[in-house]
Amino acid sequence: MKALQPERPSLTLTSLLFLLGLFQSCQSIATELEKIDYTAQHLKVLPTIDGSDTDHVWKDLPWYPIDQLILGNKVSQEDFYGRFKIAWNKNQIYLLAEIQDDVLIDTHADPLEFYWDDDALEIFIDSDNSGGIHKTNHSAFAYHVSLDNQLIDIGTNGKPINFSNHGHSVWKRSSHSPHSIIWEVALDVYDHTYDEAKSDNQLEILSAGKRLGFALAYCDADYGRTREHFISSKDVPAVDGNKNRGYIDADTFGTLLLQD
Ligand SMILES: [Ca+2]
Ligand SMILES: [Ca+2]
Ligand SMILES: [Ca+2]
């Protein structure tokens, strides 16, 4: 007598389409996750912007390295070492950077002249992560935060503008090491509609789930009248041998996700 064979399940067109859809969804989720370079925690209590890292809110946040060489030769840890933490509140991004730099120097006293050739923290921010050319528009900003805590970027006429009213920056030498500084910044976030001619530009209202273009970099000048190194948290692919494209092209920024 012939044994009964179990019935083999047949793969219908409907189930094939279902599996294909599931596969594509998984791929899409994976791609979305891959795009996140930094996550910022929502702050209920704000840190005191005073160049001290003792605020409770900083304690458990992850560090992100500033370790991608954009300009200059390989840099030793004594010459430059940097890392940062990032968080957000209603209209602002909060940064805590720990910078180790052997020589702090501000050769060009005028904040609008050769500001990139003095020691400076450089904050790249694109409020809607749209990318694209931003050198002479405000689709994105590249704020150079100088040692005297002024914020400079290029305006729509191609000339540098003092945007110090867009943020509050304070740094101090670290109590842990004489060559380290703790740098805190609270940065206002503006979108592409920012108008230099207006005094009542509205701040972007931030919310959990929002993605911004972002990178944090450091211009390291030590001895000459030009910076020796430029180091970023995000590597920039070279175009015609040039990696220094962040101040022009927001496509070079990483992606920052705001979390609850
Ligand atoms: Ca503080
Ligand atoms: Ca240095
Ligand atoms: Ca330096």
Give the fold, CATH level 3, of 37-259.
Answer: Immunoglobulin-like (2.60.40)
Residue 33 CA, ligand 3 centroid: distance in Å = 35
Q: What is the pLDDT of residue 19?
A: 60
What are the extents of the domains in the chain?
37-259
CA distance 29 to 24: 9
Torsion angle of C-alpha atoms 63, 105, 142, 207, degrees rounded to 10: 40
Per-residue pLDDT of the chain (260 residues; tens, 9 = 90+): 445 454 554 556 666 566 656 556 545 544 455 589 999 999 999 999 999 999 999 999 999 999 999 999 999 999 999 999 999 999 999 999 999 999 999 999 999 999 999 999 999 999 999 999 999 999 999 999 999 999 999 999 999 999 999 999 999 999 888 889 999 999 999 999 999 999 999 999 999 999 999 999 999 999 989 999 999 999 999 999 999 999 999 999 999 999 99
Q: What separation in Å is there between the alpha carbon of 74 and the centre of ligand 2?
A: 11
Q: What is the pLDDT of residue 8?
A: 52
How far apart are the CA of 165 and the centre of ligand 2, in A?
28
Q: How many other C-beta atoms are found inside a 10 Å radius of the C-beta of residue 202?
A: 11
pLDDT value of position 178: 83
Q: How far is CA 125 from CA 104, 138, 240, 247, in A?
A: 25, 10, 24, 10
The reported pTM is 0.88
CA end-to-end span of the chain: 67
Q: How far apart are CA 104 and CA 222, in angstroms?
A: 7
Q: For residues 67 and 179, what is the distance between their CA atoms, to the nearest angstrom?
A: 17
* Residue 67 CA, ligand 2 centroid: distance in Å: 13
Largest CA distance in the chain: 100
Picking from 204, 219, 194, the residue whose alpha carbon sits closest to that of residue 256 is 204
**Positive or negative, the Cα torsion across 186, 188, 189, 195?**
negative
Which own/partner pairs from 81-85 qualify as long-range (CB within 8 Å, at least 24 positions apart)? 82/218, 82/231, 84/216, 84/233, 85/58, 85/61
57 CA distance to ligand 1 middle (Å): 9
Tell me, in angstroms, the distance from the centre of ligand 3 to residue 123's CA.
17
Ligand that comes closest to the CA of residue 52: 1
